[in-house]
Amino acid sequence: MKHLLSAADLSHGEAVGVLDAAEEMAQATRERRIKKLPVLQGLTVVNLFFEDSTRTRISFETAAKRLSADVINFSPKGSSVSKGESLKDTVLTLGAIQTDAIVVRHPASGAPHRIAHSGWTGASVINAGDGTHQHPTQALLDAMTIRRHLMGPDPVGRDLSGLDIMIVGDVLHSRVARSGVALFTTLGAQVHLVAPATLLPVGVEQWNCTVSYNVDEALADYPPDALMMLRVQHERMSSAGGGFFPSPQEYTREYGLDSPRLERLAPHGIVLHPGPMNRGLEITSQAADGPRSTIVEQVANGVAIRMAVLYLTMSGLKE
Amino acid sequence: MRYVIKEACLPDGQTADIVIQRGKIVSVGRAASGQGGTVTGEVTVVDAAGLVALPGLVDIHTHLREPGQEDSETVASGSRAAAAGGYSCVHAMANTNPVADTAGVVEQVWRLGREAGYVDVRPVGAVSVGLEGKQLAELAAMARSVARVRVFSDDGVCVADPVLMRRALEYVKGFGGVIAQHAQEPRLTEGAQMHEGLVSSELGLAPWPAVAEESIIARDVLLAGHVGARLHICHVSTAGSVEIIRWAKGRGIAVTAEVTPHHLLLTDDSVRGYDPLFKVNPPLRSAQDVAAVRAGLADGTIDVVGTDHAPHPAESKDCEWAAAAFGMTGLETALPVIYQVMVESGLMTWADVVRVMSSGPAAIGRVADQGRPIAPGEPANLTLFDPSARWLVVPEDMATTSANTPVAGRQMHGRTVATFYRGRATVLQGKVI
């Protein structure tokens, strides 16, 4: 695989292959006092972030450095949307300094796809989140986390068959949800989306998942093995029509993960959140910090997943 | 110059020789070459065996970009593109810089068209000052100017204020004008990027609901009926719009409508590659919508084809989707697309093509001397089309200054071989002269 642009592009075999490679990466770095592996020595990775990000950029940077690649972080002040240098000219500039891989985060859906397929660069392109489209490495690290917890003591080689995964919240603006639905279903899980209709895209009824508007009914109808709470993305929300829901209080009452809802999970059930969290809005601290929470572990797994993705795209190896 | 066009196939299916001289059609019929007045000057014989002869095409919706955006098109380059596509008349939209909202600007555009000399350039006047939707532009001044404006439109933006729309519809009754509405409810389409449906939900592009178009059309046909005025709907793109217009026509409301070649040909599936060549306003719609606008054009609910030829410089398309401009070129590929989609498919005849691409648009724009039948005494505006030709669209080879065609690399069915404008050949052997 040359690029990773969308979780929907991964076949079942490729997806399991990335998860397995990530387990290998995690093990290799866990057992070493010096965590660097020499596999990408001499190659250059540019983290091209047009949008603010803490955990994803740090995660990619750590991953690339652990594989001994040279890393350049580049955060242009404005995108061409805001009349700065055009995306094309930025990418041509990176080409001139012989970049091997571009990890890109961009507010415009499809920007990584354009970078990869417009003849602007020959580098590998890894999507680190584009607009409201995709965030494939997030879905992969979520799948890795779920697999570790729910698919037995030795998850290598396994997929997510038989699991019910529930995603609750702002699906409309969420690239995490879009990536998750694609990847989890590819891996054999059944996905259940729960949100107010204002935060679901028209067309979602044709996605390969169930859709419901009521958390409490959904928890009864599709008891989830993994429950993912999405962040309410205020920064992407239009204020037209007075907003997408009447008030934060009502959102929390209707869709927030509080202790009563947490207690309804099966004994093995886990809680995920892609971060950054709005504590008290979509998730209470009891849920976020409780024993079912895998939120910190998700971040750790993110490094292993990004090592695997960089390795697989840059070394040109298939699964 | 005298032209003898031999053995052309007329829209009614008959074969005839057509003789044109001094800007007029002199004779139409068998072996007409020796008749029809005295032979003066040079005679050029055009072998039209196997070619379809159509009255010169009339575009009700063209963006020529001059004044103000000459890097994407000028009146001269757009006129040549129109001729290359078989047109002898285009209506130049008002969203230039400065906006064509005064007699001065429309007269400038009209004069540039005359100087170019490839087609009748009929300026469209803005409905509101600066396309801002706040105050009526001086519509009568534009109508009385040498440009004789009859079509008024804020195209590019919707006349959203219902009161302003009502006033405009009423006011232009005084001089036989028509308001051409760009139907797009602005609040429902803030930041919108593509048709709202399965594809937008997957691509994460801000959605553009069909209802944003349909609700404005519903409002405006009711307004037009109420005040007894003429209304034209630009670039109809949804099945619901077709139904509303069909209903309005059934009630006797004086509404006409256009559809673009690209909305007849392409669906929102084209957006999946995020190539901004497919970014257009209104957006490419679903397959059901495409079927509905085809059926609407065939049954007369949609009166005409308008290209919405919208040239843009390369940098406006060679970028990420959200940053790209809306619009596609279309003048040079409209007739092949209509031929493939509507005629080859059996939905329409050549006589229907004349109605939707020549006589119909001329009637809406109140253009004398255009859209006339191919008959002795009529103005010599003619197009010769070779239905058997097959050619690949190479953007750089086109007459338009811009390369933003959505059919780049596609094989076209049929080609304009010759165009005559007021008796002069503007295109011969497929080349603009």
Q: What is the ipTM of this complex?
A: 0.93
What is the DSSP code (8-state) at residue B252? T
Please tell me the predicted confidence (pLDDT) of residue B33.
Answer: 47
| Whether residue A294 is found in the same domain as residue A177 | yes
- Do A88 and B319 make contact, defined as CB atoms within 8 angstroms? yes
pLDDT tens readout for residues B373-407: 999 999 999 999 999 999 999 999 999 999 999 99
pLDDT tens readout for residues B311-324: 999 999 999 999 99
pLDDT tens readout for residues A35-72: 889 999 999 999 999 998 888 999 999 999 999 999 99
| Whether residue A224 is found in the same domain as residue A207 | yes
| Whether residue A267 is found in the same domain as residue A307 | no
What is the DSSP code (8-state) at residue B105? H
| Whether residue A23 is found in the same domain as residue A159 | no
Please tell me the predicted confidence (pLDDT) of residue A55.
Answer: 87
Burial A200-228 (b: 16+ CB within 10 A, else e): bbebbeebebebbbebeebbeebebbbbb
| Whether residue A240 is found in the same domain as residue A306 | no
Helices (H), B126-260: 139-144, 162-171, 198-203, 210-227, 239-250
pLDDT tens readout for residues A109-156: 999 999 999 999 999 999 999 999 999 999 999 999 999 999 988 999
Confidence band of B58 (pLDDT split at 50, 70, 90): very high
| Whether residue A17 is found in the same domain as residue A124 | yes
Which secondary-structure segment (H or E) carries B259? strand B255-259
Interface of A to B at Cβ within 8 Å reads 8, 79-81, 86-88, 106-111, 113-114, 117-118, 130-134, 175, 178, 201-204, 206-207, 238, 240-241
Nearest C-alpha in A relative to B189: A240
**B240, amino acid identity:** G
| Whether residue A306 is found in the same domain as residue A266 | no
Spell out which residues of chain B touch residue A204, defining contact as CB-CB under 8 Å.
Answer: 201
Q: Enumerate domains of chain B plus CATH numbers.
A: 2-52+377-432 (2.30.40.10), 56-365 (3.20.20.140)
3-state secondary structure of B12: coil
- Do B198 and A79 make contact, defined as CB atoms within 8 angstroms? no
| Whether residue A112 is found in the same domain as residue A154 | no
The answer to whether position A267 is within a domain reads yes
Q: How many CB atoms lie under 10 A from the CB of residue B405? A: 23
| Whether residue A79 is found in the same domain as residue A158 | no
Please tell me the predicted confidence (pLDDT) of residue A235.
Answer: 80
Span of A241-245, A246-250, B201-205, B270-274 with lowest mean pLDDT: A241-245
Spell out which residues of chain A touch residue B198, defining contact as CB-CB under 8 Å.
Answer: 203, 206
The answer to whether position A286 is within a domain reads yes
- Which domain covers residue A221, as residue numbers? 136-298
Alpha-carbon dihedral B330, B335, B341, B343, rounded to 10 degrees: 170
Q: Specify whether B308 is catalytic.
A: yes
The answer to whether position A293 is within a domain reads yes
- Do A203 and B196 make contact, defined as CB atoms within 8 angstroms? yes
Please tell me the predicted confidence (pLDDT) of residue B347.
Answer: 98
Percent of chain A with pLDDT over 70: 97
Spell out which residues of chain A touch residue B315, defining contact as CB-CB under 8 Å.
Answer: 86, 88
Q: Domain count for chain A, please give it.
A: 2
| Whether residue A98 is found in the same domain as residue A177 | no
The answer to whether position A1 is within a domain reads no
| Whether residue A123 is found in the same domain as residue A19 | yes
The dihedral sign for the CA sequence B61, B62, B65, B66: negative
How big is the A-B interface in CB pairs under 8 Å?
91
pLDDT tens readout for residues B85-104: 999 999 999 999 999 999 99
Please tell me the predicted confidence (pLDDT) of residue A83.
Answer: 58
Q: Residue A85 pLDDT more than 90?
A: no
Catalytic-role residue among B120, B268, B303, B308: B308
The answer to whether position A42 is within a domain reads yes
Q: Residue B148 pLDDT more than 90?
A: yes
Interchain CB contact of B323 with A (< 8 Å): yes
Confidence band of A81 (pLDDT split at 50, 70, 90): very low
Which secondary-structure segment (H or E) carries B363? helix B360-365
Q: Residue A208 pLDDT more than 90?
A: yes
Which CATH number is A246's domain given? 3.40.50.1370
The answer to whether position A248 is within a domain reads yes
3-state secondary structure chain A: CCCECCHHHCCHHHHHHHHHHHHHHHHHHHCCCCCCCCCCCCCEEEEEECCCCCHHHHHHHHHHHHCCCEEEEECCCCCHHHCCCCHHHHHHHHHHCCCCEEEEEECCCCHHHHHHHCCCCCCEEEEEEECCCECHHHHHHHHHHHHHHHCCCCCCCCCCCCCEEEEECCCCCCHHHHHHHHHHHHCCCEEEEECCHHHCCCCHHHCCCEEECCHHHHHHHCCCCEEEECCCCHHHCCCHHHCCCCCHHHHHHHHCECHHHHHCCCCCCEEECCCCCCECCCECHHHHHCCCECHHHHHHHHHHHHHHHHHHHHCCCCC
The answer to whether position A282 is within a domain reads yes
- Do B191 and A201 make contact, defined as CB atoms within 8 angstroms? no
| Whether residue A215 is found in the same domain as residue A74 | no
Q: Residue A78 pLDDT more than 60?
A: no
Confidence band of B38 (pLDDT split at 50, 70, 90): low
Q: How far apart are CA A7 and CA A10, in angstroms?
A: 6
